[in-house]
Amino acid sequence: MNKIRLLIVDDHQVVRKGVSTLLEAEEDIEIVGEASDGFEAIEMIKLLNPSIVLLDISMPKMSGIETAELIQKHHKSVKCLIFSMHNNEDYIIKSVESGAFGYILKDTSKAEMLSALRSVASGHKYFNPQISSVLTDALLNKPKKLNTQIKEEYKISKKEKVVLKHLVNGLNSREIAEKLALSVRTVDNHRAHIMRKTGVKNAIELVKLALKERLVE
């Protein structure tokens, strides 16, 4: 039997421990790790190779939706199951658009959580009737949101886009410099130019903007 290798991502330790305790006795589930934010989750995926990431939406540094987008882009074999306290149309729609395989609420029962995990592990989407109703109403009553294309107004150069892509992938200036055979100072200058052009204040905001606006392929 192939076990479900589960990574739990939530900024509240009590939630992570609670889920871990709830599921630890299940023979078909192995808790491979816990992460407190999206950046930590991305690093742990590289090391632990989970099959499912149970992902909170409201986290510091990078939201669950942004994290799901990054996982979908760079770790296609890993499936994301959103685990949220928000029964909110916008969150649900954005979760679907991010590539998440399902959406469950934090007040869900153990039986439903297990059903969701096993369904997603089998390659199926999971939305309970309550979430499905919100999703159906939104799709019927709103036009499908268009993916935002690269915005020319930012005027980011080709070299800057290469640096930005590595930043989105979680590399720091020194690692980027080594990959591109540049000095760390040159990489920092490129990053500063991108931040000035996009109007963001720090690297975290820059990564969020790049994911939201699809500034890199």
pTM for the whole thing? 0.65
Query: CA torsion, points 125, 128, 130, 136, in degrees to nearest 10?
Result: 30
Amino acid in position 19: V
How far, rounded to the nearest angstrom, does the alpha carbon of residue 123 sit from its chain's CA centroid? Answer: 18
The DSSP output letter for 150 is P
The string of pLDDT tens digits covering residues 131-142 is 877 666 665 555
- Do residues 151 and 213 make contact, with C-beta atoms less than 8 angstroms apart? yes
Contact 31, 24 (CB under 8 A): yes
| 49 neighbors 70 (Cβ within 8 angstroms) | no
Please write the tens of the pLDDT for every residue from 67-107: 999 999 899 899 999 999 888 888 888 888 888 999 999 99
Q: pLDDT band at residue 153, thresholds of 50, 70 and 90?
A: low
- Angle of helix 64-74 relative to helix 38-48, nearest 10 degrees, comes to 30
Domains assigned to the chain? 4-141 (3.40.50.2300), 152-213 (1.10.10.10)
Read off the DSSP letter of residue 78: S
- Mean of pLDDT over the chain: 86
Low-confidence winner among 66-70, 190-194, 198-202 (lowest mean pLDDT):
198-202
Nearest-CA neighbor of 85 among 100, 109, 106, 58?
106
pLDDT band at 127 (very low <50, low <70, confident <90, very high): confident
